[in-house]
Amino acid sequence: MRSYDHPLQMAHLVAARSRLLTDRTAYLNASTGEALRWTDLDSLTRRWRVLANDFRLPGRSRIGLAIADPVAFAGSYIACLAAGLSAVPIDPREPAADVLATTARLRADVLATDRDDLLDSVTPHPVWRASAGDVHPLRGAPSDVWPS
């Protein structure tokens, strides 16, 4: 297997699991009982792939994941990898200034988070809101970030 085939194969695996195990659990947070189903993970994977394309993110672009919710983190992590992006976990418990400094130090292209205080922070990086079932760009239009 060539290394650049990995994301596509991972996306196909998630899609196949979604078709075969429609309402089965892909990830379970045992402490809260919150679950991410295979169909939800497939939808999230597709969403990340669309955003990567819309934002013209080159393959293996770094996505900083400062996500406190374990289900949202797991889904976003897998979806990033399946979209051909590099998921860079950042400790969401750190103060906002430290998360932003880490994002810059790691040269992340996008910061995905579920923390409200980071969603309004001033940062040169696009900021996306991540949840267990979706991700939404909040700042940084594609034309503002990467040249054509």
Enumerate residues 6+ apart whose C-beta is below 8 A from 44: 75, 76, 78, 79, 133, 134, 135
Closest CA to 127 of 67, 79, 73: 67
pLDDT at position 140 is 61
pLDDT at position 79 is 92
Confidence of residue 146 (pLDDT cuts 50, 70, 90): very low
d(CA 91, CA 67): 8
d(CA 30, CA 57): 34
Angle between helices 70-82 and 6-20 (to 10 degrees): 120
Containing 72, the helix (H) or strand (E) segment is helix 70-82
Closest CA to 146 of 16, 70, 53: 53
Q: What is the pLDDT of residues 118-137, one digit of tens each?
A: 877 767 778 999 998 899 88
- For residues 4 and 85, the model is more confident at 85
Enumerate residues 6+ apart whose C-beta is below 8 A from 7: 59, 81, 82, 83, 84, 85
Confidence of residue 142 (pLDDT cuts 50, 70, 90): very low
Q: What is the pLDDT of residues 10-60, one digit of tens each?
A: 777 788 877 888 889 888 999 999 999 988 888 998 999 899 998 889 888
Do residues 74 and 34 make contact, with C-beta atoms less than 8 angstroms apart?
no
What global pTM score does this model have?
0.84
Q: What is the pLDDT of residues 65-105, one digit of tens each?
A: 999 999 999 999 999 988 889 999 999 999 999 999 999 99
